[in-house]
Amino acid sequence: MDRTIRVTGTGQLAVQPDTTQLLLTLTGLHEEYSDAVRHSADAAGRLKEALAKAGFEQEDLKTVNFSVNSKYESVQDSEGLYKQRFAGFEYDHRLKLEIPRDNERLGKALTAFLQSDVAVEFQIVYSVKDPRAAKNELLKNAVEDAKTKAGQLADAAGVRLGKILHIACPCEEVALRQEVMRSTRFVGETVYTAISPDLEPDDIRLKESVRVTWEIQ
């Protein structure tokens, strides 16, 4: 006879973001591959210079991904048929600036990007600096929930819990980040010369489950 009890416990946790990530995207289309690489490097360099003038370190702006791909466009010929025509080389340069959560510093960074006169898209993402601590706390809550449920079931059945025989955790990747803003491309000609965001991110709410098997006595 299988004298065990299996219970699924669910842990929940609300984590306050402590880190701001500015994710930037630079794109451009050029006839020559070398021109695409050069323009990308020039745009990134101007962003770094603008950041340095605003009190940041140039090294704070890091490349996350860089690619240059051939781009084709569909064109119609004289017979009404559509064909693919080479349009040029398109670069896609992704960069990241990570700073502690601070609206004043965030405003300085956004203003620097705006005044750099570089066409750039950006996302503002809030995250947690130490995700491991949050995940450990989440799993602890899940196991505690399983223990409470198992104790209640054991009492109702008139048995006692013995030792834990097995713990199974799907341990799916939990998202310790939330996007709060996404821009279209903007450049320095815009009428705004400074950005002062007043953003208060909501807590990041996490959920995880574990399945625990106890011996019963």
Nearest to 127 by CA among 181, 175, 176: 176
Compute the 3-state secondary structure of the chain and give helix, strand, coil in percent, each to the nearest 5. 30, 45, 25
Is residue 186 within 8 Å of residue 120, measured between CB atoms? yes
Is residue 93 within 8 Å of residue 44, measured between CB atoms? yes
Query: Is residue 181 very low, low, confident or very high in pLDDT (cuts 50, 70, 90)?
Result: low
Distance CA 85, CA 83 (A): 6
Domains contained in the chain, CATH given: 4-216 (3.30.70.2970)
* Per-residue pLDDT at 10 exceeds 80: yes
pLDDT, one tens digit per residue, over 115-161 is 888 888 888 888 888 888 888 899 999 999 999 999 999 999 889 99
Query: Is residue 187 very low, low, confident or very high in pLDDT (cuts 50, 70, 90)?
Result: low
The per-residue pLDDT for 46 is 93
pTM value surpassing 0.85 = no
Dihedral-angle region of residue 48 (phi above 0 means left; psi in -120 to 50 means alpha; beta otherwise): alpha
pLDDT, one tens digit per residue, over 13-56 is 998 889 999 999 999 999 999 999 999 999 999 999 999 999 99
State the average pLDDT for the chain: 86
